[in-house]
């Protein structure tokens, strides 16, 4: 693979930032990788893992002369990062992010972006429940979607360069309106995580079942929820706060449907229950057919260690 950018700066070097660093290096996508993160401890760890060529404590210094800047921080930190880097960006630089919500990130970052840079918001649908620089690995983005939510009048050439970058790390790129992105992600990612956090919390609160029983017998379905519920609390707090409207809309729909299922169970409406469970089984089949998971036992978790997020 050939060099696409002279200097790529990674702001934030957790799971996503470090996975990008491995791929940029492995595929030779940049002459130089510059790393910056908020804490001295994480910066030191990034250096120990040899994730970059230079390590800088301030993002302002780190973005100097960068051709591509990738911001990989919790979505609630987007504005402060944008403010800090804006005056130091070179003309023609591409600035992108990987945040899980898009309308809010645009609202936070765009007003600070100088007119001489290309700001292209993005979201790779790839991740695991782990966080920090030790969680990253090469190939995380392979076969996964990356969604761009470009602003009107985005430069076509800059868009094509960013697309080529994500395709080089193995992603398939789609373009979407930010509000639509936030609705789609609310149902496919945010709601499942919220439900998982909630059900695991409920199990923890139960007085009639002991914690040791919950852990001992967890294989029967509960375990799959605990994997989602082990995701980073900061990241998921920020997602809840920054995709509030879409999440509340989906939760309202979910609660209505849950009440209807509850009623069907109460009244012994077997056909209704069977119909619903059959429809949902078809969705699972379509996901496997689309190559988004394997049909192996154990929800394909061992066969496919990267999950959609
Ligand atoms: P992570 O592993 O927790 O790493 C977060 C990084 O952001 C660290 O470098 C951390 O710095 C920095 N950071 C944390 N709080 C900050 C703040 N207030 N100001 C500035 N920097 C801060 O997170 P991640 O999983 O890579 O997620 C990064 C972004 O990718 C998030 O927006 C998330 O929504 C999105 N995303 C995540 C996944 C996933 O599955 N994890 C998938 C797709 C997209 P220090 O350690 O130095 O404090």
Q: What is the pLDDT of residues 153-163, one digit of tens each?
A: 999 999 999 99
In this structure, are 151 and 185 located in the same domain?
no
Asked if pLDDT for residue 232 goes beyond 80, the answer is yes
Among residues 152, 176, 200, the one where a domain terminates is 176
In this structure, are 17 and 87 located in the same domain?
yes
CA-232 nearest atom, ligand 1: 3
**pLDDT tens sequence across 266-301:** 999 999 999 999 999 999 899 988 888 888 765 445
pLDDT of residue 204: 86
Residue 206 CA, ligand 1 centroid: distance in Å: 32
In this structure, are 120 and 254 located in the same domain?
no
In this structure, are 237 and 255 located in the same domain?
yes
In this structure, are 159 and 186 located in the same domain?
no
The residue ranking higher by pLDDT, 84 or 305, is 84
pLDDT of residue 212: 86
In this structure, are 34 and 161 located in the same domain?
yes
Buried residues in 53-67 as b, exposed as e (16+ CB within 10 A): eebbeebbebbeebb
User: 228 lies in which domain range?
Assistant: 180-266
CA-307 nearest atom, ligand 1: 40
Asked if pLDDT for residue 184 goes beyond 80, the answer is yes
Average pLDDT, integer, range 83-110: 98
Contact (Cβ atoms closer than 8 angstroms) between residue 105 and residue 181: no
Query: For residue 286, is it within any domain?
Result: no
Query: For residue 198, is it within any domain?
Result: yes
Asked if pLDDT for residue 305 goes beyond 70, the answer is no
Query: For residue 141, is it within any domain?
Result: yes
Query: For residue 105, is it within any domain?
Result: yes
In this structure, are 101 and 236 located in the same domain?
no
| Confidence at 177, pLDDT banded by 50, 70, 90 | very high
In this structure, are 110 and 13 located in the same domain?
yes
Pocket residues: Cβ below 6 A from ligand 1: 12-17, 37-39, 42, 72-75, 77, 80-81, 98-100, 123-124, 127, 131-132, 232, 235, 309
**pLDDT tens sequence across 98-134:** 999 999 999 999 999 999 999 999 999 999 999 999 9
Q: What is the CATH number of the domain that holds 95?
A: 3.40.50.720
The residue ranking higher by pLDDT, 198 or 215, is 198
In this structure, are 150 and 118 located in the same domain?
yes
Among residues 147, 176, 205, the one where a domain terminates is 176
pLDDT of residue 301: 52
Query: For residue 83, is it within any domain?
Result: yes
Number of domains in the chain: 2
In this structure, are 161 and 191 located in the same domain?
no
Q: What is the CATH number of the domain that holds 248?
A: 1.10.3660.10
Residue 48 CA, ligand 1 centroid: distance in Å: 19
| Confidence at 207, pLDDT banded by 50, 70, 90 | confident
């Amino acid at each position: 693979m050939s060099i696409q950018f002279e200097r790529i700066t990674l702001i934030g070097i957790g799971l996503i930032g470090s996975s990008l660093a491995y791929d940029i290096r492995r595929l030779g996508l940049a002459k130089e990788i510059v790393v910056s993160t908020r804490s001295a401890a994480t910066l030191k760890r990034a250096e120990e893992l040899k994730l970059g060529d230079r390590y800088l404590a301030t993002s302002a210094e780190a973005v100097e002369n960068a051709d591509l800047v990738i911001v990989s921080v919790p979505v609630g930190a987007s504005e402060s990062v944008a403010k800090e880097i804006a005056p130091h960006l070179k003309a023609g630089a591409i600035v992108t992010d990987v945040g899980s919500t898009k309308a809010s990130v645009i609202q936070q970052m765009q007003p600070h972006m100088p007119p001489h840079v290309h700001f292209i918001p993005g979201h790779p649908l790839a991740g695991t429940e782990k966080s920090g620089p030790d969680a990253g690995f090469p190939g995380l983005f392979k076969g996964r979607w990356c969604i761009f939510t470009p602003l009107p009048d985005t430069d076509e050439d800059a868009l094509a360069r960013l697309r080529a970058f994500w395709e080089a790390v193995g992603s398939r790129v789609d373009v979407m309106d930010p509000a639509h992105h936030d609705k789609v992600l609310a149902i496919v990612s945010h709601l499942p995580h919220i439900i998982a956090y909630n059900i695991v919390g409920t199990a923890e609160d139960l007085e009639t079942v002991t914690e040791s029983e919950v852990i001992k017998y967890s294989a029967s379905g509960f375990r799959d929820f605990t994997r989602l519920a082990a995701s980073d609390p900061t990241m998921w707090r920020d997602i809840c706060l920054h995709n509030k409207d879409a999440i509340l809309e989906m939760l309202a729909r979910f609660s209505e449907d849950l009440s209807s299922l509850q009623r069907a169970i109460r009244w012994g409406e077997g056909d209704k229950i069977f119909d619903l469970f059959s429809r949902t089984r078809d969705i699972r089949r379509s996901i496997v057919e689309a190559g988004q998971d394997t049909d192996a036992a154990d929800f394909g978790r061992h066969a496919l260690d990267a999950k959609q997020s």
